C-alpha cells in the first residue's frame, strides 16, 4: 500500500551559518548582540550571503505546496522587490517558530494569507509580468524620484535615481 502522505516535502532548512548565529544570539551568556536574522537590512554581508539561496528555496517550496492560483505565486524576482524580500524572510523564520506548536502553525497559515494579500497589493498588476519572468523596474519609481538625492545617498540608490531620470 502506498503512503498518501509521501509527497509532503519538509520545509527547507536554514543555512548552517544562520542556525549558528541564531544559537549564539539566544545563548544565555551570549556575546552576540547583532540584529535578528530576519532583519535583512541590518545583517552583515557574511550573514546575508547564504540567505538568498535559502529564501529562494523557501519561495519555491511555498509556491509548490500552497499556490493554486497564478496571482498567489511568489515571483522569481522576489529579491528585486525589496519590501517583498523583507516579507519573505520574516515569513520563513515565523514558520520555523510556528511549527514548534500545533496552534501556532494555524496562526502561521493566517500570516501566510496576509502575506499573499500584501504581496499582491505591492506588486499590483505588474506582478503578472514578474510571475512569468519579465521583471521591470518598480513602476512607482518615478514618483520616488521627487524626493531627490540625500547627501549621504548610497551608490545603489544613486544608480536607481539615474535610472529614474533616464526613464522620464
Q: How confident is the model at residue 94 (pLDDT cuts 50, 70, 90)?
A: very high
- What is the value of pTM for the model shown? 0.80
| Straight-line distance from the first to the last Cα atom of the chain, in angstroms, rounded to the nearest whole number | 64
Kindly state whether residues 156 and 91 are assigned to the same domain. no
Kindly state whether residues 150 and 165 are assigned to the same domain. yes
The reply to whether 71 falls in a domain is: yes
Range of the domain at 162: 140-168
Kindly state whether residues 36 and 53 are assigned to the same domain. yes
166 burial level (CB within 10 Å; 0-12, 13-18, 19+): exposed
The reply to whether 4 falls in a domain is: no
Least confident of 23-27, 32-36, 43-47, 61-65: 32-36
Q: How confident is the model at residue 14 (pLDDT cuts 50, 70, 90)?
A: very high
The pLDDT of residue 80 is 92
Is residue 37 within 8 A of residue 16, CB to CB? The reply is no
The pLDDT of residue 152 is 72
The pLDDT of residue 2 is 87
The pLDDT of residue 167 is 47
Kindly state whether residues 74 and 150 are assigned to the same domain. no
Give pLDDT tens digits for 47-70.
999 999 999 999 999 999 999 999
More confident residue, 126 or 120: 120
The pLDDT of residue 168 is 45
Kindly state whether residues 54 and 27 are assigned to the same domain. yes
Kindly state whether residues 145 and 158 are assigned to the same domain. yes
Kindly state whether residues 76 and 150 are assigned to the same domain. no
The reply to whether 153 falls in a domain is: yes
Cell of 143: 514618483
Kindly state whether residues 168 and 114 are assigned to the same domain. no
The pLDDT of residue 121 is 93
Candidates 97, 130, 99, 94; CA nearest to 114 is 94
Contacts of 41 (CB under 8 A, 6+ apart): 86
The pLDDT of residue 56 is 97
What b/e readout covers 112-136, taking b as 16+ CB neighbours within 10 angstroms? beebbeebeeebeebbeebbeeebe
Candidates 42, 31, 33, 37; CA nearest to 17 is 37
Q: In the chain, how many domains are there?
A: 2
The reply to whether 114 falls in a domain is: yes
Mean predicted lDDT score pLDDT of the chain: 85
Amino acid at each position: 500500500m502506498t503512503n498518501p502522505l509521501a509527497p509532503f516535502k519538509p520545509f527547507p532548512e536554514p543555512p548552517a551559518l544562520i542556525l549558528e548565529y541564531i544559537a549564539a544570539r539566544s545563548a544565555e551568556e551570549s556575546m552576540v548582540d547583532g540584529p535578528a536574522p530576519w532583519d535583512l537590512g541590518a545583517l552583515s554581508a557574511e550573514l546575508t550571503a547564504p540567505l538568498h539561496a535559502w529564501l529562494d528555496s523557501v519561495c519555491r517550496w511555498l509556491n509548490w505546496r500552497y499556490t493554486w492560483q497564478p496571482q498567489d505565486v511568489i515571483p522569481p524576482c522576489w529579491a528585486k522587490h525589496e519590501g517583498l524580500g523583507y516579507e519573505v524572510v520574516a515569513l520563513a523564520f515565523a514558520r520555523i517558530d510556528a511549527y514548534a506548536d500545533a496552534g501556532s502553525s494555524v496562526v502561521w497559515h493566517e500570516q501566510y494569507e496576509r502575506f499573499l494579500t500584501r504581496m499582491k497589493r505591492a506588486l499590483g498588476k505588474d506582478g503578472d509580468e514578474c510571475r512569468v519572468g519579465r521583471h521591470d523596474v518598480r513602476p512607482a519609481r518615478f514618483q520616488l524620484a521627487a524626493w531627490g538625492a540625500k547627501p549621504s545617498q548610497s551608490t545603489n540608490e544613486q544608480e536607481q535615481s539615474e535610472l529614474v531620470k533616464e526613464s522620464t
